[in-house]
Copies of this chain bind each other. A is one copy, B any other.
């Protein structure tokens, strides 16, 4: 998977990462972002093992996915606007129905100076109220409580229309041989 092969480049901003308590969920979020075709994860909060464990997996499984930390998500959003990198989408159970917002998203995206870039904000349990206004669109993946990890996966799956899931990742050291009966991995480093 290389960002350039996609028509749309997605950056994920993970809000509300609290040390230790959120390490596992944030790691899942990062791996989902990578496996479902996003290019980059920015974690708002203090640096911990999360970035490193995602990087270790990326190195083994290939691709150009990047992870960084932001100590100030307001600045991250401001810089995104300044660079006019495309619409800011907030995934939330209170947002507008996904299938209704997708057509609007394509239109907004086409108008951006650097077109075909999207920032997806994924919160934890408590999201500051101002996020709803700072985002261009608040989008729901169902209006029921569930999981930010699932929300991100389904959003990216719809954005890329399911084509992202079985990409070849450049520089991978291992690759799975898909099999309905057994577990098989091929070592590519030799």
Residues of A within 8 A of B (CB): 24-25, 28-29, 31-32, 34-36, 57, 61, 92-101, 104, 129, 132-133, 137-147, 149-150, 152-154, 157, 162, 164-166, 169, 175-176, 178-185
- The chain B residue with its CB closest to the CB of A133 is B181
Determine the distance from Cα of A133 to Cα of B32 in the docked complex, in whole angstroms. Answer: 27
As for how many copies of this chain the complex holds, the number is 2
DSSP majority for the A interface? mixed
Report the minimal beta-carbon distance from A141 to chain B, rounded to whole angstroms. 7
- The chain B residue with its CB closest to the CB of A27 is B147
Chain B neighbourhood of A150, CB < 8 A: 28, 32, 35-36, 149-150, 152-153
Most buried by B among A137, A146, A175, A181: A146
Task: Choose one: B35, B61, B149; the contact of A28 (CB below 8 Å).
Answer: B149
